[in-house]
Amino acid sequence: MAVKAIRAAWGGKAYRSGLRRCEGGPCLTPCPPPRVPKKESLIMARELQGKVAAVTGAASGIGLASTEALLAAGARVVLVDRDGATLKAACSRLGEAATPLVLDLLDPQACAALMPRILEQAGRLDIFHANAGTYVGGDLVDADTAAMDRMLNLNVNVVMKNVHDVLPHMIARGSGDIIVTSSLAAHYPTPWEPVYAASKWAINCFVQTVRRQVFKHGLRVGSISPGPVISALLADWPAEKLAEAKAAGSLLEASEVAEVVIFMLTRPRGMTIRDVVMMPTNFDL
- Answer whether 279's CB lies under 8 Å from 186's CB: no
Strand duo 20-22 + 15-17: pairing? antiparallel
The Cα–Cα gap between 31 and 21 comes to 9
Look up 135 and say whether it is catalytic. Answer: no
Question: 12 — alpha (psi -120 to 50), left (phi > 0) or beta?
Answer: left
- Give the residue numbers marked as catalytic: 196
